[in-house]
Structure 1
Amino acid sequence: MPVAVVSLAIAAFAIGTTEFVIVGLLPDIAKAFGISVSTAGLLVSFYALAITVGTPLISAVTARLPRRALLLALMVLFTLCNLAAGLSGAFPALLAIRIIMAVAHGVFFGLGTTVAMSLVPTEKSGRAVAIMVSGLTVAMVTGVPGGTWVGELVSRRLPFFVVAAMGALATAGLWRLLPSLPSQRGAGDILSQLSLLKSNALMPLYLMAAVGMAATFAVFTYLSPLLTRITGLNSEGVTLGLMTFGLGSVVGTIGGGRLSDRYGPQFSMNIALAGLAMSMAAVLVSAHQPVLIMANLFVWGAFAFAIPPIMQATVVLIAQRVAPRVVGTAAGLNVAAFNLGIAGGSFLGGRALTSENVLATVYVGVALSVIGLVVVAMYRWSDHPAAVTSRDALKKLRT
């Protein structure tokens, strides 16, 4: 695998850390600014919303820029935003900085995955995306707990400065390792690019991505109260559970990319969504046993995070055929779909959540997984040569 792809993964690690570390810092931020924790939580929800809304718009506007220069500019902006966040002395300013940071995040991931795929042969495209996305999942395992610990031990400001340093290192690596990457020539104006939202080939794929992430985050968002109230774990046990889920997500990210390369997106998504539904349903039983829930969290994390590399690679491959001039925008829309799913799943899980029965969120997650399987079954995979059907995949399994 080219070292340039690894440099993209390092950048993804920095971005993933700054996205999620804020969750562990919310109590300290609320205290520092004299606001409620729920108000501080806007730093999380507005971040996801900014990715969802801003990514497709900025991806379309910047489509004509040279991709190498754009990736470097986005990482410089990301680094400066983290420095500004660490220095910020007012909550509205910090919120505005997070919104700008989120847009840079979304555009970088959408563009970065297309670049990663362009650096390897087509048959390894899923693995290239998986390696890049693994930076995000590794951040969930190490960067987020580590950043939270540093914030509690020293200062809420320090994690932002550490991430800024990581961003600077990632920028230097990209500058040194990325080859010259031309712009998407003939990308058209912003309206023609956003017409992708009417594409019969791509919109169902965005729906699969959104529903797949919504299924997981309907439950995962409320995992902490589930582990404390149902399993009876303390704060250290909850941290262990989150890390176990994160380890599973790393395995799933790499495995999802390989599965997609070998057997195609239709078969891979069927496996991922079916496994996701079963592993979440198993929580209804395993949640009452600490050892079982830890094993369950690992398996659940693996199936859940097999979905992003499968769907991101699939969107790029099909966009190269149906919308070759705006592949970067198509990939950016998929990143937006993921975050829309995260926000939507969290909302639906919250509506089902009751203080007496945290496990009610599991039913929402399983139902969304089943809906995802229906969307996969209804999609006309045979219309797209870039996508391998389940029948083709089964033939490969037998050989």
Structure 2
Amino acid sequence: MYLPLYLLALAVFAMGTSEFMLAGLLPDIASDLGVTVGAAGALTSAFAVGMAVGAPLMAAVSRNWPPRACLFGFVLVFAAAHAVGATTGGATTGFPLLLVTRVIAALANAGFLAVALTTAAALVPPAQKGRALAVLLSGTTVATIAGVPGGSLLGTFLGWRATFWAVAALCVPAAVGILKGIPAHTSQEANREADQKAEREAEQGAKSPAPALRSELAQLTRPRLVLVMLLGALVNAATFGSFTFLAPVVTETAGLGRLWISVVLVLFGIGSLAGVTLAGRLSDRHPGVVLAVGGPLLLIGWPTLALLADRPAALLPLVLVQGALSFALGATLITRVLYEATGAPTMAGSYATAALNVGAAVGPLLAATTLDTPAGDRGPLWTSGLLVALALPIAYRALGPLRVGRPPYA
């Protein structure tokens, strides 16, 4: 793998820390800004909505710009949004303003990830997209291991605002790494040059292809691509639905101290890193293995965790396992989006990003509705189980041809 992939992963680490850190900060933010924990969970959904909407929008706007400049600009906007978020005022205006900064940060994150996914795919041979995606997503999983628990500890001792300042500071080395390590020319510029060549040929009487952006957007009419995006969204909704509300499960249901929130987040992060690593090895040529084995285990895991959440001895290992299964299955499905969208070379990354974040938006919203039911803090865990139960029959019917050993790009 090329060094630029790891530099991109560094930026994804900073952004992943921000995306996931609210799981350990929601109680403090809710108390400080005078809202309920369920309402504070809307910060996670607002971020995800911004990501889902912003991914194709930012990718379309920036598709003819130099990738390095796009990536650098998105990181700077992301850092600025966190600096403003850290200065939000009291309960009356603080929460709405924080909500707005989360949306702005999400738009910047979406643009960055959409361009980064496309750039990463251009840096490796065509049959290694899954590995490139695994390296890129390792920034997110390392964030869940180190960044998010670290942010939770920082919030515990210095307040949640200090965590926002820390994320803004993390963006500085990421921005420098992008300027120093990302090539000036990637496949995006090659595509633009190809379009210009086609226009010149058209002027000389050659047959002109359809406008590039229209052609790439037309890929969204392909049922198989849309279905894989839907499946990725459902699995990610299950992941975020439970992850967002792990803190009250740890402190209320399991009866553990606040410092245990960081321990649980670390375990989830370790599991997610293992899952992404596994997906990187199997998702290119053996996606059916991940789906056939990981899917049923993930389905069983969420209700099991809900039933045993009051027992720390069961809670801790189950969180690790669910993190691994969730990210293995989710990363495999998102890799499939890149393969299915090969006809949209500059927009494929945005389609994958949108699928991820539609799920990340819907999951916490659905999970929050269960907090005031008899299920209480375990409600999100049951919700995740239902979402996976909905996804798996669709997946097995639609993706049955993903047999072991079949190259998915064939």
Partner of 1:77: 77
C-alpha contact (below 8 Å) 1:129/1:257 kept by paired residues: yes
SS of alignment partner, residue 64 of structure 1: coil
Deviation for aligned residue 1:62: 1.9
> TM-score of the superposition, structure 1-length normalised?
0.85
Q: Aligned in 2, Cα 1:48/1:391: closer, same or farther, shift over 3 Å? A: closer
Shift in Å at residue 305 of structure 1?
Answer: 0.9
* TM-score of the two chains, using structure 2 as the length reference: 0.83
Q: Does 1:376 align with 2:395?
A: yes
Deviation (angstroms), 1:371: 2.5
For the pair 1:45 / 2:45, whether they are aligned, the reply is yes
Q: Encode CA deviations 1:242-291: one digit per residue, 9 max, x unaligned.
A: 2211211111111111121341x333233332221122243255435322
State how far apart, in whole Å, the 2-side matches of 1:165 and 1:228 are: 30
C-alpha separation between the residues in 2 aligned to 1:77 and 1:310? 30
How many residue pairs end up in the alignment?
A: 383
2:303–2:385 CA contact under 8 A, matched in 1: yes
Q: Whole-Å Cα distance in 2 between the matches of residues 88 and 238 of structure 1? A: 25
- Assess if the C-alpha contact under 8 Å between 2:44 and 2:244 holds in 1: no
How far apart, in 2, do the equivalents of 1:26 and 1:143 lie?
16
Residue 235 of structure 2: which of 203, 212, 225 is its match?
212
Q: State how far apart, in whole Å, the 1-side matches of 2:116 and 2:82 are.
A: 20
Shift of the alpha carbon at 1:333? Answer: 2.4
User: Are 1:94 and 2:107 an aligned pair?
Assistant: no
Q: Percent identity?
A: 33
Partner of 2:348: 330
Q: Does 1:171 align with 2:143?
A: no
1:120 aligns with 2:133: no
Tell me: CA distance 1:151–1:292, structure 2 relative to 1, closer, same or farther (3 Å): closer
**Aligned runs of 1:1-399 on 2, under 5 Å?**
1-26=1-26, 28-29=28-29, 40-89=40-89, 91=94, 92-179=96-183, 180-181=185-186, 182-183=188-189, 184-185=191-192, 186=195, 188=211, 193-263=216-286, 265-284=287-306, 286-320=308-342, 323=343, 326-353=344-371, 356-358=374-376, 359-379=378-398, 389-392=402-405
Give secondary structure in 2 for the equivalent of 1:261: coil
Which runs of 5 or more residues in structure 1 are unaligned? 383-388, 395-399
Cα shift readout 1:218-258 (whole Å, capped 9, x = no counterpart): 43334334444543433333432222112111111111111
Deviation at 1:2, TM superposition (A): 1.0
Q: Which range moved further: 46-55 or 86-95?
A: 86-95
Secondary structure in 2 matching 1:390: coil
Report deviation, 1:302: 0.2
Give how far 1:193 is off: 4.6
Query: In structure 2, do the counterparts of structure 1 residues 157 and 366 end up closer, same or farther at CA, with 3 Å as the change threshold?
Result: closer
Q: Is the 8 A contact 1:270 1:373 kept in 2?
A: no
CA RMSD of aligned residues (A): 2.9
Using a 3 Å threshold, how does the CA distance of structure 1 residues 368 and 270 change in structure 2: closer, same or farther?
farther
Assess if the C-alpha contact under 8 Å between 1:60 and 1:193 holds in 2. Answer: no
Unpaired runs of 5+ residues, structure 2, are 196-209
